[in-house]
Amino acid sequence: MNTNSNAYTIIYSTIVVVVVAAALAFVAMTLKPKQEANIKAETISQMLSAAQFASKEDLTALGNENILKMYSEKIVNAFTIDAQGNKVRDLETQGSNIELADNLKAQNYNIKDGSSVELPVYVFEKDGRNVNVVPVYGAGLWGPVWGYIAFNADCSEIVGAYFDHDSETPGLGAKIKDEAWFREQFAGKRINFDNPDNPFNIVKGGVPQGEEGASMVDAISGATMTCNGLDAAIDIWMKAYIPFLSAKAAAARETECNCGGEGCEEHSCGDTCTGNCTGAEEHSCTGSCTGTCTGTCGSSCGVTNTKAEEE
C-alpha cells in the first residue's frame, strides 16, 4: 500500500483511534468500581464528620474499607422523604450494598422547581443517641458548594456540619471546607421552623452584638459570594426539610410532655404543652399536661411527682 496515499492515512488514523478508544474504555471500566468506592467513602466521611464522629482528616486516613465499615456499624436507618416530610423508601445500609442518595444536583433543581423530590435522611447512633444527617447543595462563586448538617435526635438543634466545594478561591471561599472554626459555629444553633423562606443566616460582618440568634453564624471575611451561595443553599434545602424536621421536634415535645424524668413544676391544664418540665414542685395536673414546660419531667401528668421528694 502506498503510505503516501489518502487511503493509507485514513485507514491508519482509523486504526489508531479505534485502538486508543478501546484502551481508554477498558481502563475506564477497570477503574470504575474503585472510583465509585472512592466517591462513596468520601461522601460517607463528610456525613460522619458532620455528625462529629471524627474530623474529616482522621476519617480519610482510615481508608475506604474502614470508612464503609464504620458507616455500617454506626448507621441506624437511612431513607428518603418527599416534600411533605413523608418517608418514601429505605436505603440499603450494610456491606457492599450501601446505597446513598447522592444525586444532590438533580434534587436541587427539583426543590427549586417544586418537582417531586426524594430527600435523604441518614440516622446514626452516637453516644447512645440518634443523630440525623441531611445534605445541602447550591452554587458558590466559581462552582457548586455542598455539605451535610447533623441534628440531634429530635431535630431541634444542630450538632455539627461539614461543607465542601468544587472550585472556590483558596484562602477565601475555600475556607468553608478548610476552616474548622466556621463549621464549629453551627453546633448548638437551630433552624427557624417559623420562617421557612429564611430559616438560617450566614451573616456578613459577623452576627450583630446582642443579636446572637439561634439561627445565624458569622460569615467568612473576604468570601462574601461563597457565603451567600452557601447561605442560599442552606435556606433552600432546609425549607424542603422543615416538614420532616419540625414534625420530629413536635413529636419529641409531645412525648416529653408526658413526663418521665426528674421533677416537675406545677402545670395548669388547658393550654398546649410545648416542652419538658423542670423543678421540684408538685406536679398537680388533674387532666392532661398542657402547660408550658422546659426540661425533663419526673411523672406522668395528673400524678404527684414523688421523685423530687424522695431525693
pLDDT, tens digit (0-9, with 9 covering 90-100), for 106-137: 999 999 999 999 999 999 999 999 999 999 99
Query: Could you tell me the three cell numbers for 304?
Result: 404527684
pLDDT at 23: 86
Q: Is the pLDDT of residue 290 over 80?
A: no
Contact 225, 169 (CB under 8 A): no
The grid coordinates of residue 250 equal 413536635
| Contact yes or no for 268/288 (Cβ under 8 A) | no
Residue (of 229, 109, 216, 112) closest to 164 by Cα position: 229
Torsion of CA 78, 164, 108, 251, to 10 degrees: 40
In this predicted model, which residue has the larger pLDDT, 267 or 243? 243
Q: What is the mean pLDDT of the chain?
A: 83
Q: What is the pLDDT of residue 252?
A: 81
Query: What share of the chain in percent tops pLDDT 70?
Result: 78
DSSP state of 97: G
Q: Summarize the confidence of residues 100-104 as an average pLDDT.
A: 91
CA angle 64, 167, 164 (to 5 degrees): 45
For 78, 129, 185, 218, 284, the CA distances from 125, given in Å and listed in that order, are 12, 5, 22, 29, 36
The pLDDT of 169-191, averaged and rounded, is 96
Residue 234, SS3?
helix
Q: What is the predicted pLDDT for the residue at 282?
A: 38
Residue type, 200: F
- The model carries a pTM of 0.75
Angle between helices 64-74 and 6-50 (to 10 degrees): 40
> Exposed, middle or buried, 230 (CB in 10 Å: 0-12/13-18/19+)?
buried
For the chain, count helices (H), then strands (E). 8, 8
Going by their DSSP bridges, the two strands 144-151 and 119-126 should be labelled as unpaired
